[in-house]
Amino acid sequence: CTEIITNLNDGKRRIIDSYVSIKPKWGLTYQPGEDFLTPIFPWGVIGSIEIPQQLPLNLPLELVQAVMTPSQSTVLTLSSTATNAMVLHEVNPATGEVTEVPAPPRLRQLMFGRQHQLYATDGIKTYCLDYYNDNAIAAELNFGALDMVFDDSTDKVGFLRPGGIIEWFNKGLGPSQYRWILPTSIPLGDTVKIFPSNSPYKVWLVSSASDMIYGISQPGQGIGPLSIETVANFEIQNPTSVCEDAAGNLIVACDGSVKYFVPVVGAGWQYDPTSPWDGIAVGANFCTSRSRDNFDPAIHSGPAWDNIIPEQLTHGIFLPDCPGDLDGNQRVDVNDLNQLLAGWGTASLSSDVNRNGVTDVDDLNMVLTNWNNSCVDLPCPGDADGNGVVNVDDLNLVLSNWLTAEDVGDFNADGVVDVDDLNDLLSHWQDNCL
């Protein structure tokens, strides 16, 4: 969370608790039974982060599945032990750190919803797991899914069931919403996989019995007949996965490499060999990152969220981070100490300086370390309060700190507020630096 000071003058402190992360699309491939993951960055990585060509898991286990978490920054792996027990680990590609994650036994397959709900099946039942609570079972269904897909635009989760049925539920596994009975024109082989689309009420399907990719949608939004779209091209042989990127193009893993297809009006899907994705070698399993957000109007628009209305804000001056300044006056002083002591032992944001969830001695030390510091970044000479104008308020600050070693008013930083600083202020009287 980022704390900001606004010009609303209503006595409230504002917290920005959402952010947008923009990074290049990347992929991940692996082979069942191997002990490593292979990240794929067609456009490279941001900054100086070095990602190894392979991410060793260093586990005495057999890899079964790997899925990206909704943050797109870590990977969750499902592995099998020698006794066929299933174990989960979270892998950080940037650091190589591998951390075991609690989970129910005997899981076979995983998938994340956009708000970190973890869906899984053991072949007998299908579960919604609370990822932030040691993957405790939040809900379950009395059938095993062959595959699963999450529609971010509708917050529906679909499960492929035997007999060519995709059954849809609300997120969290509420009551069944509707069923798609796949037409016989779609051949269902031994292996059938379904993948999300950017369009609501639509999925992509690949089958080991066909070299075509099928787009299955329901224009009636859960009601009425299905619409079937086919993607056929001589470049597509034995497709195993498909990802629709933000531009609406398809990244397809087939016959050991990646192919890229774009829709052309009047000409169907056309192969694009110029894409950075094209020709990248991949294993039997391949997935890519996707744009996701966790916004839930039922939660994030409720009374507990005092939303900022952008139209009510105007640009002010930038104020640097000021550790220990709890009342927002850009000074660490006795008022901040009193506010900290009033919240001692609580998780109050108004007293928890380091935001670790409790007001304690660490917060007290931060206040004392920065005691009497001014955190105002002066925009122009003589502007003691940093508001961009040299006026009587700055003169009062200089006089109140006269002949002291205070930072505020000591414009020449010689360790004392004196006549030199007063002359500096008067020489810039009424200057406006905004």
Domains along the sequence of the chain with CATH: 27-288 (2.130.10.10)
CB 67 within 8 A of CB 30: no
What stretch of H or E contains 297? helix 297-300
The predicted pLDDT at position 49 comes to 57
Consecutive 10-residue runs of the chain (434 residues): their mean pLDDT? 48 61 83 84 67 78 88 88 85 85 89 92 93 90 94 94 94 92 92 92 94 92 89 92 91 93 90 93 87 78 64 56 76 88 84 83 90 66 82 90 87 87 89 72
The predicted pLDDT at position 273 comes to 94
CB 164 within 8 A of CB 188: yes
The predicted pLDDT at position 17 comes to 62
Euclidean distance between CA atoms 325 and 340, whole angstroms: 10
* One-character DSSP codes across 247-294: TS-EEEEETTEEEEEEEETTTEEEE-TTSTTTT-B--SEEEE------
Euclidean distance between CA atoms 285 and 367, whole angstroms: 52
The predicted pLDDT at position 209 comes to 93
pTM assigned to the model: 0.68
Euclidean distance between CA atoms 434 and 419, whole angstroms: 26
The predicted pLDDT at position 290 comes to 85
The predicted pLDDT at position 1 comes to 41
> Residue 426 has which token pair?
């008067």
Q: Which amino acid does the sequence have at 40?
A: I
Q: Can you give the C-alpha Rg of the chain in angstroms?
A: 29
